[in-house]
Amino acid sequence: MSVQEYLDKHMLSRKIEDAVNAAVRAKASDPVLFISNHMRKAVPPVISKIKARQILDSRGIPTVEVDLYTNKGMYRASVPGGASTGIYEAVELRDGDKEKYLGKGVSKAVNMINEKISEALVGMDPLLQSQIDQAMMDLDKTENKAELGANAMLAVSIAVCKAGAAEKEVPLHKHIADLSGKSNPVLPVPAMTVISGGKHAGNNLAFQEIMILPIGASSFQEAMQMGSETYHHLKAVIVEKYGSVACNVGDDGGFAPNISSITECLDLVKEAIGRAGYNGRIKMAIDVGATDFCIGKKYDLDFTDPTKSGQNFRTGEDMLELYTKLCTEYPIVSIEQPFDKDDWEHTKSFSTLELCQVVGDDLLVSNPKRIERAVNEYTCNALNLKVNQVGTVTEAIEVVKQAKDAHWGVIVSHRSGETEEAFIADLAVGLGTGQVKAGAPCRGERLAKYNQILRIEEELGNQATYAGENWKLP
C-alpha cells in the first residue's frame, strides 16, 4: 500500500487538515503539540491491553492490581480485601495453595484477567462502563462471581472507570456522577476509626471499631483537622491511663489498648473529644461486627480472650439492651452490624427504636436481594457499601441508588486490607453518599482516600458542599 493509499483509506488528510485549522483558530503557541493532541482526541477510545499482577495489601496479604491500556494512556487500579468476609458476598478468588502466602495468593484471579477478561474486553470503548461490566458478568456466568472472582472483575472495572474519566477529560468523581445520573457532588463526613478491636486488632475488645464523625465541621478540610486533633488527644489520654504500650494500632489505624469494656473505650474517646474542644461537633459511631462473635444465637463478648471465651454469653435481647444504654449515655449516631448476619429479628427491633442510624454490613453485603428484603421488612436504615462485595462499579452504583430510593443512609467503606488505591474517595463524592469510612487519620493506605477528598474539595472551590449535619441524607 502506498502512502497516498494509506492516507486515503484512513481519511488522514482530512483529519490533519482539521487539526491544522483548529490550531490556527486557537492561535496555538506550539502548533505541533496542539495538532498532536487534536489528533489523539479524534481517535475513538478503545481498550488495547489489560495486564494484571499480584501485589500486597496493607496487611501483607496478596491482592490484585490491573494496568488497563487504551490508545490514550494507561490506567491502574487495585482492590482491597477484608478480614471478615460474609458468606453472602461476591467471591474473592484465592489460590488455596498453603505453600504460598498461606493459601491467600491471587494468581488464579490474575490469570483470569490476563487470559479470559482481557480477551473479552480488548477493543471495547472504556466509556461504556455498564456494557463492559455486563460483559464480565456474562463471561463469569455465576451469581456470586465464583468463576472469575470479584477481586479480578472489580480491579478491571475500576480501571475502566478511570479510563472513561480520562477520555472525557473530567475528574473521576464527575464521571462517576455522570454514570449515576447525579449532578451535584457532595463531600462526605469522614467516619474515622480511633479505636480498633475484634478481628482488626490484637486486644480483648470484641467490638470492631469506634469511630468519630465531625458532623459539626464546615468543610471536609475542617473535618479532617478535627478528626486528627482528636486522634492525637486520644493517644495522649491512652498513654496517661495505660502507658505507651497501649498505643499500638489495628489494621485500620485505630488505637488498640488491651481493654475488653466497650464503655471504657467510649469514655476514652469522649474525653479526647472534650480535650480537643469539639463537644457537640463530633459524634461517635460503632462498628460492632457482631457476626464474628455470634455462636448459635448468642454473643460471646470475650471471644478475643482465650482464657474467658465461651464463659459469658449474651442473648440478642441482652445486646439490644446494651445498645440502648450506649446510645443514651454517649453521643452515638450510628451503629453498624449490631447483630449476626442472619439475625434479622433483633436488627429490626433495634432499628424501630430509632435511637441511631442502624447500618447493615454482613447482613446486606451490598447484595441487592438482601437490601430489597431489608427495605421491605424495615430491618435497618443504612447500607455499608464495600465495592469488592459486589464486584463491579455498575453494580455499586445500582445498590447505592436502591438504598437512596428507600431513604437510607449510605456509607462508602474501605476494607481492613487496603492499598493506596483512592477510588472510594471519588465514589463517595460522585454518588453523594454523605458518609465515607476509610479508617484512622493515619497510615498511608487510609489517608490516600481522605487526602483525595481534600484535593477534590480544593478543585471544586466555591462549588464544594460538605454533608455536615445532613450526613444521613445529603
Question: Taking the CA atoms of the chain, what radius of gyration do you get in angstroms?
Answer: 24
Q: Is 38 annotated as a binding residue?
A: no
Please indicate if the annotation marks 413 as binding a ligand: yes
- Does residue 411 contact residue 359 with C-beta atoms inside 8 Å? yes
Question: Could you give the CA distance from residue 370 to residue 402 in angstroms, rounded to a whole number?
Answer: 11
**CA of residue 254 relative to chain centroid, distance:** 17
Q: Name the catalytic one among 199, 235, 283, 386.
A: 386
Q: Which residues pair with 283 in a beta bridge?
A: 213
SS3 of residue 139 by DSSP: helix
| Residue the block writes with cell 455462636 | 295
- Grid look-up 463478648 returns 301
200 labeled part of a ligand binding site: yes
In the DSSP assignment, the letter for residue 115 is I
Length, in residues, of the chain: 474
10 Å Cβ neighbour count for 51? 15
Exposure letters 326-351 (e unless 16+ CB within 10 A, then b):
bbeebbbbbbbbbbbbebbebbbebb
According to DSSP, the residues that pair with 284 across neighbouring strands are 212, 332
Q: Which residues on adjacent β-strands are paired with residue 50?
A: 68
Helix (H, G, I), strand (E, B) or coil at 80: coil
232 annotated to bind ligand: no
175 in a labelled binding site: no
What order do you get walking across the sheet with 313-314 strand by strand? 294-295, 298-300, 313-314
Instruction: Please check whether residue 445 is in contact with residue 424, taking contact to mean a CB–CB distance below 8 angstroms.
Output: no
DSSP letters, 237-249, are: HHHHHH-GGGG-B
Among residues 144, 237, 216, the alpha carbon closest in space to that of 469 is found at 216
* Gap between the Cα atoms of 197 and 10, Å rounded: 62
The answer to whether 386 is a known catalytic residue is yes
Q: Does 415 belong to an annotated binding site?
A: yes
Q: Is 345 annotated as a binding residue?
A: no
User: Cell for 424?
Assistant: 472510594
For residue 163, the number of C-alpha atoms closer than 13 Å in the C-beta half-sphere is: 32
Cα four-point dihedral sign 387, 392, 393, 399: negative
In this structure, which long-range contacts are made by residues 101-106, counting pairs with CB atoms below 8 Å and at least 24 apart in sequence? 101/61, 101/62, 104/61, 104/62, 105/54, 105/62, 106/54, 106/62, 106/63, 106/64, 106/149, 106/151
Tell me the C-alpha distance between 344 and 377, whole Å: 9
Q: Which of 140, 251, 252, 426 is catalytic?
A: 252
Residue 437, annotated as binding a ligand: yes
φ/ψ bin of 44: left (φ > 0), alpha (ψ from -120 to 50), beta (otherwise): beta
Known binding-site positions for substrate: 200, 209, 336, 361, 413-416, 437
Known binding-site positions for Mg(2+): 287, 336, 361
Known binding-site positions: 200, 209, 287, 336, 361, 413-416, 437
Active-site residue set? 252, 386
